[in-house]
Amino acid sequence: MELSQKLKQLDEQAVKKLRPVFDKIDEISQKNTEKVLASFKNHRVSDSMFAGSTGYGYTDNGRDTLDAIYADVLGAEAAFCRHNIVNGTQAISIGLFGLLRPGDVMLSITGRPYDTLSEVIGDKTHNGDGSLYDFGVKYDDVEMKDGKIDYDAVDKKIKEHGEKIKVIFVQRSKGYAVRPTLSAEEIGEAAQFCHKLSNAYFVVDNCYGTFCDLSEPTHYGADMIIGSLIKNAGGGLANCGGYIAGTKRAVELASYRLTTVGIGTEVGATIGENRRMFQGLFMAPHTVAQAKKTAAYASYIFSHLGYDVEPSWDVDRHDIIQTVTFGTPDGLCNFCRGIQAGSPVDAFVVPEPWAMPGYDDPVIMAAGTFVSGASIEISADGPLRAPYTAYFQGGLTFESGRYAILTAAKTILGE
Ligand SMILES: *Cc1c(COP(=O)(O)O)cnc(C)c1O
């Protein structure tokens, strides 16, 4: 790769300075991999489980075993993961509709949830589509304060709504907001705080957070965590899907929305997806580490090129997202175009902003991925609104991540 003297030096410096940061990331990957392997052995994972089923999928031993392994590894009583959950939004929707009933209140304590959940939650303007709002579920939220959960405000809201609160909701990753990501441990503290004041289920949108820390929010008492298989938990191998893990009752209730009441997780053909889902989980801690290294590297490079970044390159990461703020639409678009040009698939394509379903502003996306839209693979996106922040994530290998970041830097510098 041809680099100017400036970029070449910056790249060399980055790799050297990041050494201790990478060591820490590898340590987490090592421990999480050991957890996965121990569970595989415990559940006697074997070749026959990869065969897949058709029709109703009764007695699909692979599916049931993988569910049990997910529960184990994520520190939960129960779990399910399914290839036919279409995305993270649907997985979260399954969880929310599983738990909430007419007259209940959903209280989000990390501000307004991820953009695509707006229509799931609904309001007067979406009346009639079958949102939670249409079914008589009320929504309220508490904004975060100085990057932390505002416990005083949460306390007040819990007292205001009382027993009506059925779900207290936390989003681990920053998503499209400008705030720090919460660690599993911080979320655990919030779960314990809320459980003292309320009988509500404590539910976590774990998208982008899975395997970033040594533990998951469920290890610390969250009732439910939810994630996507084309993000962290699928390890870059799962073709599609999502997971829900948590307490036995919470997961059971969610399973009745996944399929239907009385059926739950007992049916569901896996039509040949099992092997990729098993192997994806096996890969996931390592793949997440690759993505975190790529993010830390991006943070180093772009902060040294003079852009605002979050988080900074030297801190512990609780998700795989890196933001770089460009201040101009051109900056954001050029960054995404550079990432696309440095991707393994569709490197010849030039991304343009478009009105994506579920998002309020036009969004520009770079996704040169093997699995369409998979954001555990190198990808960048951002809504075309001030301050024109790119959300960068993924990278199946650090080597390819580094290459894409350098390509983006070259594009922005006009090299
Ligand atoms: C990606 C994401 C979602 C939604 O997932 P999709 O797969 O895009 O539907 C929800 N919450 C957070 C924090 C996410 O990062």
pLDDT of residue 175: 77
β-sheet bridge partners, residue 227: 243
Whether residue 276 is found in the same domain as residue 300: no
Tell me what the mean pLDDT of segment 128-157 comes to: 97
Whether residue 21 is found in the same domain as residue 53: no
Whether residue 275 is found in the same domain as residue 374: no
Residue 333 has pLDDT above 80, yes or no: yes
Query: Which residue from 112, 115, 116, 144 has its CB within 8 A of the most atoms of ligand 1, so it is best to mutate?
Result: 116
Q: Which ligand 1 atom sits nearest the alpha carbon of residue 89?
A: 9
Query: Which residue from 114, 365, 392 has its CB within 8 A of the most atoms of ligand 1, so it is best to mutate?
Result: 114
Q: Which domain holds residue 397?
A: 5-32+284-413
* CATH code: domain of residue 143: 3.40.640.10
Q: Is residue 244 part of a domain?
A: yes
Whole-angstrom distance, CA of residue 62 vs CA of residue 49: 4
Range scoring the smallest mean pLDDT among 208-212, 286-290, 359-363, 372-376: 359-363
Q: Is residue 304 part of a domain?
A: yes
Residue 395 near ligand 1, beta carbon < 6 Å: no
Whole-angstrom distance, CA of residue 9 vs CA of residue 40: 44
Whether residue 264 is found in the same domain as residue 369: no
Cβ–Cβ < 8 Å for 309, 299: yes
Whole-angstrom distance, CA of residue 278 vs CA of residue 110: 32
pLDDT of residue 125: 85
Whether residue 340 is found in the same domain as residue 250: no
Q: Is residue 37 part of a domain?
A: no
Residue 163 has pLDDT above 90, yes or no: yes
Residue 341 has pLDDT above 90, yes or no: yes
Residue 205 near ligand 1, beta carbon < 6 Å: yes
Tokens of 345: 């698939």
Whether residue 107 is found in the same domain as residue 27: no
pLDDT of residue 178: 77
pLDDT band for position 187 (cuts 50, 70, 90): very high
pLDDT of residue 52: 86
Contacts of 70 (CB under 8 A, 6+ apart): 76, 79, 80, 81, 233, 243, 245, 281
State what percent of residues in the chain have pLDDT above 90.
93
Whether residue 12 is found in the same domain as residue 60: no
Distance 207 CA to ligand 1 centre (A): 6
Could you tell me the strand order of the sheet in which 379-383 lies? 308-310, 322-325, 389-393, 379-383, 363-367
Tell me what the mean pLDDT of segment 4-29 comes to: 98
Higher pLDDT, 17 or 358: 17
Whether residue 269 is found in the same domain as residue 323: no
Cβ–Cβ < 8 Å for 174, 323: yes
Residue 268 near ligand 1, beta carbon < 6 Å: no
Domain count, the chain: 2
Q: Assess whether the previous peptide bond of 311 is cis (omega < 30° from 0).
A: yes
Tell me what the mean pLDDT of segment 189-201 comes to: 98
pLDDT of 31-71, one tens digit each? Answer: 999 999 999 999 999 999 999 899 999 999 999 999 999 99
Whether residue 258 is found in the same domain as residue 165: yes
Q: Is residue 387 part of a domain?
A: yes
Domain limit, last residue, from 233, 251, 281? 281
Residue 340 near ligand 1, beta carbon < 6 Å: no
Residue 228 near ligand 1, beta carbon < 6 Å: yes
Residue type for 387, please?
P
Whether residue 345 is found in the same domain as residue 308: yes
pLDDT of 237-283, one tens digit each? Answer: 999 999 999 999 999 999 999 999 999 999 999 999 999 999 999 99
Q: Angle formed by the axes of helices 88-99 and 248-258, to 10°?
A: 110
State what percent of residues in the chain have pLDDT above 70.
100
Residue 113 near ligand 1, beta carbon < 6 Å: no
Distance 87 CA to ligand 1 centre (A): 7
pLDDT of residue 240: 98
Q: Is residue 74 part of a domain?
A: yes
Whether residue 61 is found in the same domain as residue 83: yes
Contacts of 257 (CB under 8 A, 6+ apart): 93, 94, 95, 97, 98
* CATH code: domain of residue 370: 3.90.1150.60
Residue 173 near ligand 1, beta carbon < 6 Å: yes
Rg, C-alpha atoms of the chain: 21
Domain limit, last residue, from 281, 314, 337? 281
Tell me what the mean pLDDT of segment 165-193 comes to: 94
Residue with CA nearest ligand 1 atom 12: 207
Q: Is residue 44 part of a domain?
A: no
Distance 58 CA to ligand 1 centre (A): 30
Q: Is residue 43 part of a domain?
A: no
Whether residue 326 is found in the same domain as residue 275: no
Residue 158 has pLDDT above 90, yes or no: yes
pLDDT of residue 357: 77
Whole-angstrom distance, CA of residue 362 vs CA of residue 175: 16
Mean pLDDT, all residues of the chain: 96
pLDDT of residue 165: 98
Whole-angstrom distance, CA of residue 380 vs CA of residue 357: 17
pTM of the model: 0.96
Helices (H), 74-228: 88-99, 118-121, 151-161, 184-197
Q: Counting runs of H as helices and runs of E as strands, what totals does the chain give? A: 11, 12
Q: Which ligand 1 atom sits nearest the alpha carbon of residue 228?
A: 7
CA distances for 174 relative to 24, 115, 144, 413, angstroms = 22, 11, 11, 28
Q: Is residue 288 part of a domain?
A: yes
If we measure between CA atoms, which residue out of 396, 385, 81, 382 comes closest to residue 243? 81
Domain limit, last residue, from 229, 250, 281? 281
